[in-house]
Amino acid sequence: MEAPLAERIRPQKLEDYISQQHLVGPTGSLTQQISKGIIPSLIFWGPPGTGKTTLAQIIAQESKRPFYILSAINSGVKDIRDVIDKAKQSGGLFTAKNPILFIDEIHRFSKSQQDSLLAAVEKGWITLVGATTENPSFEVIPALLSRCQVYILNAFTKADLEALLERAMKTDTYLLTKKINLKETEALLRISGGDGRKLLNVFELVVNASAGDEITITNNRVLELVQQNTVLYDKTGEQHYDIISAFIKSIRGSDPNGAVYWLARMIEGGEDVKFIARRMLILASEDIGNANPTALIMANNTFQAVTTIGYPESRIILSQCAIYLATSPKSNASYMAIGNAQQLVKQTGDLPVPIHLRNAPTKLMKELGYGDEYKYSHDYANNFAEQEFLPDAIKKTVLYNPGNNSRENSTREFLKNRWKDKYGY
């Protein structure tokens, strides 16, 4: 019983894999690819403990490919090159069964480490499978990202987590020697934060700490045992998401005191400075927007600065930005506008561009009247000429409603002076 419970009950076949039916269900994209034996390079993006490593191992096993694994935490360029050399010898270019190289936490690889993978992926010496909890658009270099398909793994649902516990009790040799009455699961599920690995580790801890072969697991029993083992901040588990949520909501709620408190919790827990700065960058546009456009500049400069400097000095820059954002006027008008526009596009489809707005690069297009009735704004008083910029089917649709703050109230007046008869601002 040396291996942890999560390792002992790790599924070996696709049909035993819990959750992610959009990928591994009967019509899932991965199911189809495995059945055809054509596995592209992949990046699995999802929360901790959702089975990214397990899925990579199952893919290798069911496609009968050699499997190599590296962790970005303790592997360098030399380790990558060693594995690629082994992969070239065991398969590679002249066989469809090229080896799979799985890289856990690929977002931790530097640009040079990621660059070292490019040739091997492009030439087919390996099939790369990367796992990340961070948005690959930010953390994986574009050249490598363009050569991979990104699959999103969803957080486990309550039903998924309960299914994991049932499997453990029914299949694990050690647990089968115990008579376990799983009376309550709420505490186990809450502590796990949707992380299947953490759930099984806590479950095993409770079982091992209980005397005798008959064990009743209740919420109180779980909390009694686990509270002694909790840490101030778990940056890969539930508190990672709860605390960043509290931080963002404090800024959105214009409370600088709450903002710096939750910021301090993340700093003391060793949270990635880029993760914190990136969330403030998103908030600056989503929750402040044109109520204070400088907020986006401030947040972007903060992201650039902390990326260069790192801890401990970055704490000062993060604090300055958090307080600035918290004390800025708020507006989600731009966020709502693009949401409204995308929804309209989904509802109305590919409406034709009005002919006066079309480009006319050829003689035929000019003869067909492309751009004929377009009014060049700078030729008119106040650099404005009223004309239609939306397709006929949706003309007069209002997608942007300025927020109620001094700057956007000025914007509303600007729009009212120009578009009152059309949009009713």
According to the model, what pLDDT value does residue 377 have?
Answer: 81
| Helices 256-268 and 238-252: angle between axes, nearest 10 degrees | 160
Give the residue among 277, 325, 327 at the shortest CA–CA distance from 302. 277
Maximum separation of any 2 CA atoms in the chain, in Å: 90
Q: How confident is the model at residue 92 (pLDDT cuts 50, 70, 90)?
A: very low
Top-confidence residue, 384 or 261: 261
Average pLDDT of the residues in 95-117: 84
Which pLDDT tens digit goes with each residue over 336-391?
999 999 999 988 888 888 878 777 677 776 666 776 778 888 887 888 878 888 88
pLDDT tens digits for 287-333?
Answer: 999 999 999 999 999 999 998 888 889 999 999 999 999 999 999 99
Per-residue pLDDT at 239: 65
CATH code of the domain occupying 158-229? 1.10.8
Mean pLDDT within 48-58: 91
Residue type, 252: R
To the question of domain 238-326 being in CATH 1.20.272.10, the answer is yes
193-243 pLDDT, tens digit each = 788 998 998 999 999 888 788 889 999 988 888 764 444 455 555 567 788
Fold of 20-152: Rossmann fold (3.40.50)
Equal fold, 20-152 vs 158-229: no
Mean pLDDT over residues 233-262, rounded?
A: 82
DSSP states along 184-204:
--HHHHHHHTT-HHHHHHHHH
70's enclosing H/E stretch is: strand 67-71
Instruction: Give the Cβ contact number of residue 227 at 10 Å.
Output: 9
**DSSP assignments along 287-341, one per residue:** IIGGGSTHHHHHHHHHHHHHHHH-TTTHHHHHHHHHHHHHTS----HHHHHHHHH
The amino acid that residue 369 corresponds to is G
Identify the burial level of 139 via C-beta atoms within 10 angstroms of its C-beta, where 0-12 means exposed, 13-18 middle and 19 or more buried.
buried
Question: How is 391-423 classified by DSSP, letter by letter?
Answer: -GGGTT-------SSHHHHHHHHHHHHHHHHHH
How far from each other are the two terminal CA atoms of the chain, in whole angstroms? 70
pLDDT at 168: 93
Pseudo-torsion of CA 340, 344, 347, 353, nearest 10°? -160
Q: Considering only CA atoms, which of 126, 134, 137, 81 is closest in space to residue 104?
A: 134
Q: How far is CA 401 from the centre of its chain?
A: 29
- Least confident interval from 58-67, 137-146, 160-169, 231-240: 231-240
Q: What single letter denotes the amino acid at residue 361?
A: P
Domain parsing of the chain, residue ranges: 20-152, 158-229, 238-326, 354-423
User: The tokens 């072969």 sit on which residue?
Assistant: 213
Q: How far apart are CA 330 and CA 286, in angstroms?
A: 9
pLDDT of residue 227: 63
Kindly tell me the sign of the dihedral angle through the C-alpha atoms of 86, 89, 94, 99: negative
Whole-angstrom distance, CA of residue 172 vs CA of residue 177: 9
CB distance 159 to 192 below 8 Å: no
